[in-house]
Amino acid sequence: MPIYRPPKPRSGHKAKPSKKRQTYQQGLKAERWAGWILRAKGYGILQRRYKAQGGEIDLIVKKGKSLVFVEVKFRQSLEEALYAITPHNQARIIAASQHYLTQFETSKFETFRYDILAFAPRLGPLPQYQHLEHAFEAF
pLDDT band at residue 100, thresholds of 50, 70 and 90?
A: very high
* Among candidate residues 98, 1, 116, the one with its CA nearest the CA of residue 58: 116
Contact 114, 71 (CB under 8 A): yes
The one-character DSSP state at 109 is -
CA distance 74 to 11: 33
Region for residue 42 given its phi and psi (left: phi exceeds 0; alpha: psi -120 to 50; beta: otherwise): left
Mean predicted confidence (pLDDT) in 18-34: 89
Residue-wise pLDDT for 34-84, tens only, equals 999 999 999 999 999 999 988 899 999 999 999 999 999 999 999 999 999
* Among candidate residues 58, 118, 111, 57, the one with its CA nearest the CA of residue 83: 118
pLDDT of the residue at 72 = 97
**Single pTM value for the model:** 0.83
Contact 114, 134 (CB under 8 A): yes
First to last CA, the chain: 62
Contact 29, 43 (CB under 8 A): no
pLDDT of the residue at 9 = 65
pLDDT band at residue 3, thresholds of 50, 70 and 90?
A: confident
CA 83 to centroid of chain Cα atoms = 14
Domains, the chain, ordered by start: 20-136 (3.40.1350.10)
Contact 24, 65 (CB under 8 A): no
Share of the chain above pLDDT 70, in %: 89
The one-character DSSP state at 42 is T
